[in-house]
Structure formats: C-alpha cells, structure tokens
Amino acid sequence: MTTRTMTLAAMLTALLCIVGPLTLPIGPVPVSLLTAVLLLTAMLLGGRLAVLACGVYLLLGLLGLPVLSGFTGGAGQFVGPTGGYLVGYLPMTFLAGAVCARTDDCRFQALVFIAATILLYAVGTVWYCMQSGVTAGAACLVCVLPFLPFDAVKIAAVLAIGPRLKRRLRRLRLLS
C-alpha cells in the first residue's frame, strides 16, 4: 500500500463523512447517496481498502461524530431498527470491491453491484425485522421497495463515473 493509496482511502472516508448525513427521509430508512459513494469507493480501492474506509466511517459514527444519517452518531444508531443497514455496508463494500479489483468489465460490475445491494438489503431488513417485530414482507415494503429506483440510479451513476475516475487516478499514479 502506497502513501498515495492511503491518502486516497482517507479522502474517500472523508467523502463518506460528508455525504453520510445528507438524507431524504421517506420512511424509517432514509434515502442517501452513501451507497453510491461506497460502491465508488469499492470500485476505486478494491475490497480490503474499501472496507477499511467504510469501517473508519462507521467507527467515527459509532464514536458519536454526526456523520450518520441526519447528522446523527453514537451507538444507538447501530442497535436501533436501521442499524443493520450500517452493519451491512461492510459486506456490501467488500463484495463490490473484491470483484472490481479483479475486473473492469462494466456489465459484470453492474451485476456485482446489484448483488452487493441485495446483500445490504438482506442484512438490513433482517435486522429491521428483529428490532421492529414486523414480518419480512412488511419490512420489504418499507425498507426495500421504495429504494429500488434510487439504488438503480445510483448504480448506473457509479458505473458511468467510476471507470473514468479510476482511469484518471491511475494516470496520476494514485491507483495501481
């Protein structure tokens, strides 16, 4: 790992901290650009470094810095009904990053981003069901269905912007 790569990982962590609090409340789980930035981070850094950037972001939120949804922070955000989505960011980011580190095929990356988002939905929705005592069907109506169009747009945006950004960062020798 080079100093340049570590600096890029830190910059992406800072971007997560900036974007994380900015949300559009549409129900118990707000819409955010955070998943798009996490997928972009995964595309640029690969699995391990992307998880590190995501983990530092989550640790800052856990410690109480207002970097989570709606400018909140603290352990309560992780143990509440939507805490599973925060925890789900880690496997989502790892899956997307591990594959993006091995291929630049945009169509394959699209499938992996969809699978990673489904993984995030699964972790978060199971957690939501356990915390809220609702059925999986009811949880999906509130926690998954409203987000499908937003996540489709975010995935498309990352697939449009990410490869160009990755090429530029490689030319600047910020990525290998």
pLDDT digit of tens for each residue in the chain (176 aa)?
A: 788 889 999 999 999 999 999 999 887 788 999 999 999 999 999 999 999 999 999 999 999 999 999 999 999 999 999 999 999 999 999 999 999 999 999 999 999 999 999 999 999 999 999 999 999 999 999 999 999 999 999 999 999 999 999 999 999 988 87
pTM (2 d.p.): 0.95
The CATH classification number of 3-171 equals 1.10.1760.20
- Interhelix angle 3-19/47-62, nearest 10 degrees: 50
Distance of CA 147 to the CA centre of its chain: 14
For tokens 């995964």, name the residue. 42
